[in-house]
Amino acid sequence: MARAASADQAEPPRPLPFATQSPAFIDFGSGRGESMGLAEGLFRNPGIGVDILPERVAECQAAGWDVQQADVLTFQERNLAPVSLSVDLMPELDGLRAFETACTNMLRAARDFTMIQHLCFDSAEALLAREEVVPGHTARQVRIRPRAVDYLHFVMQAGRRLDVVGLAVFGVGEPRTVPLGVPGLSGMLINPSAGVPAFRSIRIVIARKDISRFHRAIKRVGTEHALMMLETP
């Protein structure tokens, strides 16, 4: 009886059957294709995408997007495109470990940089001062609320191992809010004089290996609302 192959001898996973040659980006969590459209507008060329749900993959393929089924938490392919990105994916992950795994796999899938965008949970306190709230902050699909400091901690802990050279955080758009509806709330957070700006979304840019890639990424996908910037030595 043949002996089973060890983990070291196991065959690597087969590459996903993407049709696009030299894709400009790989989109993690393509959903119905909205983020594919955003990325194609940003990078001016076709890209590829993955989603964990087969029905979403089918919808994207029917719409003409080059999307295959895969899970960001087990994704192993590397250097597939200059840019990897995700839009509104991170808050759907189940906890901090999944968040860190997703960041790692996305960085390894890109040659130049990774762009991550989702609701700006950093704006929660600023909105409290206005007695407002973003409904999406408490939606059922939100399992984790990543803030800028979570990305900073990730880079501080894993940056050397992943050859990270830069991290940038930008604010994007105006938040769509509703009244807080909690009468009698008080405290230091409910302080209209705080003056902290609120944004609809937060955009994270992380680059590896070459600082020039980081500078080009900032020029390409950054906004005028730079919230935090780090270049590693």
What is the span of the domain harbouring residue 170?
A: 71-231
196 within domain boundaries: yes
What is the pLDDT at residue 232?
86
8 within domain boundaries: no
Q: pLDDT per residue over 53-84, tens digit each?
A: 999 999 999 999 999 999 999 999 999 999 99
- Per-residue confidence at 4, pLDDT binned at 50, 70, 90? very low
148 within domain boundaries: yes
86 within domain boundaries: yes
23 within domain boundaries: no
What is the pLDDT at residue 131?
80
This prediction has a pTM of 0.88
Q: How many domains does the chain have?
A: 1
What is the pLDDT at residue 191?
62
The CATH number covering residue 87 comes to: 3.40.50
Tell me the percentage of the chain whose pLDDT exceeds 90: 72
34 within domain boundaries: no
Got the DSSP string for the chain? Answer: -PPPPPTTTSPPPPPP----SS-SEEEES-TTTHHHHHHHHHHSS--EEEES-HHHHHHHHHTT--EEE--TTT------EEEEEEES-GGGSSSHHHHHHHHHHHHHHEEEEEEEEEE-GGGHHHHHHTTEE-GGGG-TT------HHHHHHHHHHHTTTTTEEEEEEEEES----EE---TT--STTS-GGG-----SEEEEEEEES-HHHHHHHHHHH--S-EEEEEE--
Q: pLDDT per residue over 141-186, tens digit each?
A: 789 999 999 999 999 999 999 999 999 999 999 888 888 777 766 6
195 within domain boundaries: yes
202 within domain boundaries: yes
